[in-house]
Amino acid sequence: MYLNHFVIFCSSLFLPQFIIASPDAGNLDDAVNRHHRSLPKSPKTIVDYEEAEFWLRSSQDTLKQKLGQKRIEKKAKNTIFFLGDGMSVATVVAARIHKGQLQGGYGEESNLHFETFPNIGVSKTFCSDSQVADSACSATAYLSGIKANINTIGVKPSVKVGNFTAMMDVSQQVESALAWAQNYFRLIWGVNLDNWRIMCGKYKNLFSSCM
């Protein structure tokens, strides 16, 4: 899963050097500046956007809004889990800016809908035997709290890839959060945006632990 992030990072890191070294790049300043584009022209009139008072007022408004929220001491009624391959911080930022520009703004001032939730967090993980995770072992970590080896699903890290005897051993299998929810008679909803397939590691982990 993190391999996509690494490739994107390397591409953005080395692309300017490739362009500068290219004989077709033209003027050196143009080659560099094309990666530092100015803000797009917005149809909206934002007079105070670059004024210091704008940011002070904006911060105070946000602070008042957060302090005015009623604190909930009870158990959470619902948990919404967004799990996406390549859903890095950089990707979320790009999506937020793109949404804002489509709405006629500069982009940075926009918010994705889930970013407006009263309580939100970010989670990251890796494999027991690999820093670059795949969907299988990362889903096991997210949903069971136990890190596993790469290319394994729903089993402990003592189980190696290809050891089917160990995989079938119930003592080597782990339960996911969905299985816990089913045991407590909780309703489970799943939305799959990956071409309606369950062959991806994320979804196989869910189905295998709940069937």
pLDDT (average), residues 189-211: 52
Supply the range of the domain harboring residue 151: 135-210
Structural domain contains residue 6: no
Structural domain contains residue 27: no
Does this model's pTM top 0.85? My answer is no
Q: Which of the listed ranges 4-13, 20-29, 169-178 does the model predict with the highest average pLDDT?
A: 169-178
Structural domain contains residue 153: yes
Q: Which helix (H) or strand (E) holds 61?
A: helix 52-67
Structural domain contains residue 203: yes
Phi/psi at 99 (5° precision): -60, -45
Residue 194, marked binder: no
* 182 CB-contact burial (10 Å; exposed 0-12 / middle 13-18 / buried 19+): middle
Structural domain contains residue 123: no
Structural domain contains residue 141: yes
- What is the distance between the alpha carbons of residues 82 and 210, in angstroms, rounded to a whole number? 19
Structural domain contains residue 49: no
Query: Crossing angle for the helix pair 89-102 and 2-21, nearest 10 degrees?
Result: 70
Q: Please state the domain count of the chain.
A: 1
Taking only the tens place, the pLDDT of each residue in 148-178 is 999 998 899 999 988 999 989 999 999 888 8
Structural domain contains residue 41: no
- What is the distance between the alpha carbons of residues 141 and 155, in angstroms, rounded to a whole number? 10
- Check pLDDT > 60 for residue 40: no
Enumerate the active-site residues. Answer: 135
